[in-house]
Amino acid sequence: MNLNRVVITGVGALTPVGNNAPDFWDGLTEGVSGAAPIQNFDAAKFKTKFACEVKNFDPTKYIDPKESRKLDPFTRYGIVAAEEAISDSGILNDNINKERTGVIWASGIGGMQTIVSEVGEFTRGDGTPRFNPFFIPKMIPDISAGHISIKYGFQGPNYATVSACASSANAIADAYNLIRLDMADIIICGGSEAAINEAGVGGFNAMHALSTRNDDPATASRPFDKDRDGFVLGEGAGGLILENLEHAIARGAKIYAEITGVGLTADAHHITAPCPDGTVVARAMKVAVEMGGNKITEVAHINTHGTSTPVGDIAEIKGIVSLFGEHTPNIAINSTKSCTGHLLGAAGAIETIATAFAVKNNLVPPTINHFTDDENITSLQNLNIVFNKKQEKVVDLALCNTFGFGGHNVSIAIKKYNAR
């Protein structure tokens, strides 16, 4: 069968280094750190006292205050990022078929702040069950997709993907496949997360997953550095408009880049630790590249999952080296989590946007906070990790990697658009 080509025609971002997509990109390319002492709650007694929070965000500028109170922060973030992407794409100015326009919006956790607040109120009370009537609709992970579709009347495929930190990458993969198979013309896809609260920080602290570099938060997220000690928790949202190429051309849409393939694999190894040799991750990247008829020697850039954990970073680099071999030094490797922290279920969305911008602009943002080489990484190959300073490079084909607890791996191939 003939498969549709799929392009990105709109983007939106709400992140710790920028509250819209252009500012987000500027923050990345300038190497801005989004990490700072936590403002959302009193973290004095926690092992980790900092995070990458969204800053200077007033939801009432975008959402009616009465309606905003009915929403968890993760949904507010999602609505704002989706609105920017939709506006950027111009789809509402054209006579699109809303029955063939869908929303696939992810969250790894959903309304965690709502759960913390509601359960906290109950346990502090006298045992009488007094719960907000919006408790359930505020906390379920699929509710952002519902709100976005309701707001704009999109009646196509509508659901959430949940695969921990790979959630929004899976949303993009599903959107890509639905359009490719002609089951939709347009999909608004992405994800949002708001887990910087007592339970989020406390839970990840209990796993020893977070950095505890409280004396210097701005340098705490240091992917691939010898002294990395865990990830920095982030929050926010990213949204993309994926569209059938012919449909996009017919309405005169601007095109950021083309998605040419997705690779989905499972480590089948451990609930939180990656497969240490990186072979399963390598297979995801290989599938993503070859799905679009491309060769691995064409890959010029990889935006890694690169969370700044001792085990995860080296496993991913091993996977890259095992797949690309002698071509590895030709690939500009980075991790934008060094700037944004780890947005969990929203990570794949904002990092796909960053990768698409790298392809469009021939510019790879830096992996900031590199101070000391890790010989366990540098000894594997002559690597071109873009440390501390952005790198100008022609990028015709790039990969964006996102992995989640449970062994979920997603790699997305993003190519410079040409009419062929």
Give burial (CB, 10 Å; 0-12/13-18/19+) of 268: exposed
Closest by Cα among 172, 214, 419, 397 to 302: 397
CA–CA dist 261, 269 (Å, integer): 25
Give burial (CB, 10 Å; 0-12/13-18/19+) of 133: exposed
The Cβ of residue 223 has, within 10 Å, a number of other Cβ atoms equal to 29
Active-site entry in 52, 165, 275, 339: 165
Helix (H) or strand (E) holding 390: none
Active-site entry in 147, 247, 301, 342: 342
Known catalytic residue at 270: no
Helix (H) or strand (E) holding 322: helix 310-324
Known catalytic residue at 305: yes
Active-site entry in 147, 301, 305, 370: 305
CA angle 22, 23, 24 (to 5 degrees): 90
CA angle 410, 416, 417 (to 5 degrees): 110
CA–CA dist 291, 284 (Å, integer): 11
Closest by Cα among 273, 238, 270 to 348: 238
CA–CA dist 72, 116 (Å, integer): 11
CA distances from 295 to 9, 235, 308, 396 (A): 25, 35, 29, 12
User: What string of DSSP letters covers 25-91?
Assistant: HHHHHTT----EE--SS--TTSS--EEB---S--GGGTS-HHHHTTS-HHHHHHHHHHHHHHHHHTG
What is the pairing mode between strands 332-334 and 301-303? Answer: parallel
User: Which residues are bridge partners to 161 per DSSP?
Assistant: none
Known catalytic residue at 247: no
Phi, psi of 11 (to 5 degrees): -140, 155
Helix (H) or strand (E) holding 332: strand 332-334
Residues annotated as catalytic (active site), given as ranges: 165, 305, 342
